[in-house]
């Protein structure tokens, strides 16, 4: 591992200035993903900018008028256990709980979970100079592609590894980033980019920028007795213990008198970005969801899937996850949103 400097900024401005002025500077928060990349020789930072020394970036705030605000340094353990998140944003609590092990959730941060790099073994293996690392070939196309993308792939076929991202997108979350030019916000759904836009990157962070906050908007009719908000996160793993998603589904739904009034469906583990499923949403809108309709929504969402050869199992798996999540959200016994 290359020798590096460890910088503890006293302010956010100091952190972003250092990041923008040093091309080989990298952010370290929990360090779960970054240290693995360094040990594997994928990146060789000259300076690590430690965000743990910055004050007031680990907050969780909730109000019915403003919704939910989470600082980027809030740990996944803190998110999964927060009573307001468990009560009102079940999908996010479940997603955070599904990440890795308790030890990692005690250290891993929300910002890190959203910005982590892909887990494709060709990318992670220093012996392969793949397209994702600036090479000329995505080896997964004709190689070992059991875990790779079936939607939105090309020219590289990574899958986005975050569990919290699909959950937050299903809630209509917005992300705020800060850099040398100040702060800017955008829908979290627009934060991630496909390989067709830039095969070397996964998000829209510019030089010197860091994620500072995620905001989930409030319910528009929280006081209505006829409406119900429910959400769920389902994840299939190869192992029962610590593992990334083979496929996952995040669904957030508002019902009124038993009818689907609004719904967001987002898949994880099947595409280079958290994959929004407008086909499923359109299928459900204005209808009472039963098993047949939920199955139709799942099937419609995977109609454009293009398996690579060893990952075709993901098509049926993802469709069934959507079906199960929709039925759970529409059932009277489901947890609140």
Assess contact for 30 and 109: CB atoms under 8 A. Answer: yes
CB-based contact 249:322 (threshold 8 Å): yes
Give the pLDDT confidence score for residue 225 in this predicted structure.
54
CATH 3.30.390.50 residue ranges of the chain are 227-330
DSSP symbol at 205: -
Residues 6+ apart with CB under 8 A from 96: 76, 77, 79, 80, 105, 163, 164, 167
Give the class (CATH, top level) of 1-53: alpha beta
Residue 74, pLDDT score: 98
Residues of the chain with CATH 3.30.43.10: 1-53
Task: Give pLDDT, residue 334.
Answer: 41
Spatial strand order of the sheet with 47-50 comes to 5-7, 47-50, 25-28
Return the pLDDT at 333. 39
d(CA 34, CA 28): 7
pLDDT value at residue 337 = 44
Amino acid 331: pLDDT: 86
User: Which of 216, 143, 128, 144 lies closest to 176 in space, CA to CA?
Assistant: 216
Per-residue pLDDT of the chain (337 residues; tens, 9 = 90+): 889 999 999 999 999 999 999 999 999 999 999 999 999 999 999 999 999 999 999 999 999 999 999 999 999 999 999 999 999 999 999 999 999 999 999 999 999 999 999 999 999 999 999 999 999 999 999 999 999 999 999 999 999 999 999 999 999 999 999 999 999 999 999 999 999 999 999 999 999 999 999 999 997 654 455 678 999 999 999 987 789 999 999 999 999 998 999 999 999 999 999 999 999 999 999 999 999 999 999 999 999 999 999 999 999 999 999 999 999 999 853 444 4
CATH of span 227-330: 3.30.390.50
What pLDDT, on a 0 to 100 scale, did the predictor assign at position 102? 96
């Amino acid at each position: 591992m290359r020798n590096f400097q460890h910088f503890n900024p006293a302010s956010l401005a100091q952190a972003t200035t250092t990041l923008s002025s040093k091309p080989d500077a990298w952010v370290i928060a929990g360090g779960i993903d970054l240290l693995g990349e360094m040990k594997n020789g994928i990146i060789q930072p000259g300076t690590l900018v430690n965000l743990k020394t910055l004050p007031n970036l680990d907050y969780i705030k909730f109000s019915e008028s403003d919704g939910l605000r989470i600082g980027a340094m809030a740990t996944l353990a803190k998110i999964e256990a927060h009573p307001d998140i468990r009560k009102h944003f079940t999908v996010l609590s479940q997603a955070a709980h599904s990440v890795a092990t308790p030890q990692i959730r005690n250290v891993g941060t929300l910002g890190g979970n959203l910005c982590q790099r892909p887990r494709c073994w060709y990318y992670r293996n220093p012996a392969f100079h793949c397209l994702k690392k600036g090479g000329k070939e995505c080896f997964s196309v004709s190689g070992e592609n059991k875990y790779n993308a079936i939607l939105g792939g090309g020219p590289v076929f990574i899958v986005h590894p975050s569990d919290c991202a699909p959950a937050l997108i299903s809630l209509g979350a917005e992300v705020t980033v800060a850099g040398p030019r100040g702060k800017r916000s955008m829908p979290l759904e627009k934060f991630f980019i496909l390989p067709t836009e830039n095969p070397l990157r996964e998000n829209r962070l510019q030089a010197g920028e860091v994620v500072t906050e995620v905001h989930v908007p409030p319910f528009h009719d929280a006081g209505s007795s006829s409406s119900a908000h429910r959400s769920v996160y389902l994840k299939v793993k190869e192992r029962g213990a610590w593992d990334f998603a083979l496929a996952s589904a995040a669904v957030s739904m508002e019902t009124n008198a038993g009818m689907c009034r609004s719904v967001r469906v987002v898949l994880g583990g099947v595409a280079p970005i958290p994959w929004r499923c407008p086909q499923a949403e359109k299928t459900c809108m204005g209808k009472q969801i039963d098993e047949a309709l939920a199955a139709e929504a799942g099937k419609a969402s995977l109609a454009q899937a293009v398996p690579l050869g060893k990952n075709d199992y993901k098509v049926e798996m993802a469709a069934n996850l959507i079906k199960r999540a929709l039925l759970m959200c529409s059932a009277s016994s489901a947890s609140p949103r």
